[in-house]
Amino acid sequence: MLQFYNTLSRKKEAFIPIEEGHVRLYTCGPTVYNYAHIGNYRAYMFEDLLRRFLLYKGYKVTQVMNITDVDDKIIRDANAENVDFRKFTAPYKKAFFEDLDTLRVQKAEHYPEATGHIDEMVHLVEALLEHGYAYRTEDGSIYYSVEKFEDYGQLANINPGEMQHSERVEADEYDKESIRDFALWKAWKPEDGDICWETSLGKGRPGWHIECSAMSTTYLGNHFDIHTGGVDNIFPHHENEIAQSQAATGEQLVNYWLHCEHLIVEGEKMSKSLGNFYNLREVLDKGYAPEVIRYVLLSTHYRQKLNFTWEKLEEAAAAIERLRNVVTHLENVSGDGDSTIDELLEERSEEFESTLDDDLNIAGALGIVFSLVKDLNQRISDGAMTNSGAVKALKTLRQFDEILDVLESSEKEQDVPKEIQQLLQEREEARAAREYDKADAVRDEIQAKGFIVEDTPDGAIVKPKK
Ligand code: AMP
Ligand code: ZN
């Protein structure tokens, strides 16, 4: 039985979709004011695991991921660079989708952009004004009155009654030391330049939180199954989404709220503001294949912090290698046979699924995969694997790979032919033996064949010359 830890109830609950066999899923997407870092991709990778496992279990999935293409940060940075904000966000949006492809994150069904849904946001704010949950300030902005919403604080587990209720907050992002009325609609200010919309609410632009309320309900209805994000989204973003949507529609917004923990570096959240971040490209440039990064981001349970280290990448590369090796062996097997393979495969398949059923326990599921790999290797080396057994084992491994998606080697790796990789190996051996002339000669040979050698703290890598 599939179950998820629901942030709203703070316990694991059996998952039952509203419509049988169909899951409606909203995943908060990026604010495209910069290149996403690998911490962000941890969140998107967790959502990829969730999506793939729902599909694995036979559900139809309708997933929506919004693109925040107007907010405080975008306006600040686009105006500082003096470029049109759409021009400003375009390269980051493009890079985001390229990165998702690189990491083999499956496509959502819809990627709505905030600037394409201003009308829906205006309608929502109008409903909130009408129902008495919103009020106008002197400058023409519109704020949400959190004290009007009885359940405010339920998701983040805070009790507004016990908290200091300080005044309004204009910024989209703020901490939960004190709860505040937040902006639904921000009246135009000179700093906004020409980033504004003329609407029935006046001239201005939406607050960040209303963007997600409008886009989720437009594509998924007033009440849908799962909403996800990183833990930093719980408050205020998701708390505010609930307050806005439920006050406007009178219906419960979401049944299951799932949040993934942060990717951390030396104990701190990887974030742009702390400056301790790597973009995907920076890690790729160090010579790690995309699927190795994918594996690292995927393999820690989503509710645990993931401590990012270079050793983890090495371990992931070794794990993938082990998987690919057993596949190669199975493809070339010729043994006499053993009748217990069906049972083994069936058991491991069931365990793999039931382990993931338990709140996406991927670390446990990988344990099962590698216990199977060990058994298969044993049978192969004992000569106890038949062709038909190997075909069945390959089928099981490929089923697991519907979730993992690491078996197929990426093009980047194939860009460096085996011959060159062997030369690199020779050079490393020569260097280890202090035969530097030989090492240099091999490096020259590699370069003559169109590749460059780069020495990194984690060893030498080769790349095609640009
Ligand atoms: P942002 O662009 O900061 O709004 O973040 C986009 C998504 O990435 C959100 O769901 C965040 O919760 C998530 N996120 C940001 N930093 C991290 C991190 N270090 N680890 C995991 N997820 C993160
Ligand atoms: Zn959101």
Q: What is the pLDDT of residues 222-244, one digit of tens each?
A: 999 999 999 999 999 999 999 99
- pLDDT for 416 equals 75
Give the single-character DSSP code of 409. Answer: P
Q: Is 89 in the pocket of ligand 1 (CB under 6 A)?
A: no
- Structural contact between residues 45 and 294, judged by C-beta atoms closer than 8 angstroms: yes
pLDDT of residue 179: 81
Q: Is the pLDDT of residue 407 over 60?
A: yes
Average pLDDT over residues 302-328: 95
Q: How far is the CA of 226 from the centre of ligand 1 (A)?
A: 18
53 CA distance to ligand 1 middle (Å):
22
User: Which ligand lies nearest to the CA atom of residue 306 in the structure?
Assistant: 1
| Strand 134-136, strand 60-65: pairing | unpaired
> Rounded CA gap, 176 and 155, in Å?
12
pLDDT of residue 181: 92
d(CA 152, CA 438): 70
Q: Residue 456: its pLDDT value, please?
A: 65
β-bridge partners, 179: 165
For 368-386, what is the mean pLDDT?
93
Per DSSP, the residues of 63-121 read EEE-BB-SSHHHHHHHHHHTS-HHHHHHHHHHHHHHHHHHTTPPPPSB--BGGG-HHHH
**Rounded percentage of the chain residues whose pLDDT exceeds 70:** 95
Nearest-atom number in ligand 1 for the CA of 230 is: 12
Confidence of residue 178 (pLDDT cuts 50, 70, 90): low
Provide the pLDDT for residue 26.
Answer: 98
Closest atom of ligand 1 relative to the 270 alpha carbon: 19
Name the residue with higher pLDDT: 431 or 177. 431
Residue nearest to ligand 1 atom 12, measured at CA:
230
Output the residue whose Cα is nearest ligand 1's atom 7: 40
Top mutation candidate among 32, 40, 47 for ligand 1, by most atoms within 8 Å of CB: 40
- CB of 232 closer than 6 angstroms to any ligand 1 atom: yes
Check pocket membership of 377 for ligand 1, CB cut-off 6 A.
no
pLDDT at 352: 98
User: Can you give the pLDDT at residue 262?
Assistant: 96
Q: Is the pLDDT of residue 458 over 60?
A: no
Point out the ligand 1 atom lying closest to the alpha carbon of residue 264. 19
Compute and round to an integer the Cα radius of gyration of the chain.
26
Residue 113 binned pLDDT confidence (cut-offs 50, 70, 90): very high
Tell me: pLDDT of 76 over 80: yes
Residue 149 near residue 243, CB atoms below 8 Å:
yes
**Cis link prior to 236 (omega < 30° from 0)?**
yes
The whole-number pLDDT of residue 425 equals 85
Cα of 237 vs centre of ligand 2, distance in Å, is 7
Contact in structure between 146 and 182 (CB atoms under 8 Å):
yes
Q: What is the CATH number of domain 3-260?
A: 3.40.50.620
285 phi and psi angles, rounded to 5 deg:
-65, -20
Residue 73: predicted pLDDT: 92
290 lines ligand 1 (CB under 6 A): no
> Is the beta carbon of 50 within 6 A of some atom in ligand 1?
no
Higher pLDDT, 413 or 24: 24
From 173, 231, 232, the mutation candidate for ligand 1 (largest count of ligand atoms within 8 A of CB) is 232
Buried b (16+ CB within 10 A) or exposed e, 236-265: bbbbbbbbbbbbbbeeebbbbbbbbbbbbb
Domain with CATH 3.40.50.620 in the chain: 3-260
User: How far apart are the CA of 43 and the centre of ligand 1, in A?
Assistant: 6
Q: How far is the CA of 40 from the centre of ligand 1 (A)?
A: 4
Nearest residue (by CA) to ligand 1, atom 23, is 40
Nearest-angstrom CA–CA distance, 133 and 417: 63
Q: Evaluate: CB of 263 within 6 angstroms of ligand 1.
A: yes
Average pLDDT, the chain: 93
For residue 28, give the ligand nearest its CA.
2
pLDDT of residue 169: 83
Q: What is the pLDDT of residue 176?
A: 65
pLDDT score recorded for residue 414: 54
Counting ligands in written order, the one closest to the CA of 26 is: 2
Q: Which two tokens stand for residue 116?
A: 């394409």
pLDDT of 303 higher than 90: yes
Nearest CA to ligand 1 atom 14: 40
What pLDDT score does 455 carry?
79
Q: What is the average pLDDT across 407-428?
A: 80
pLDDT of residue 219: 98
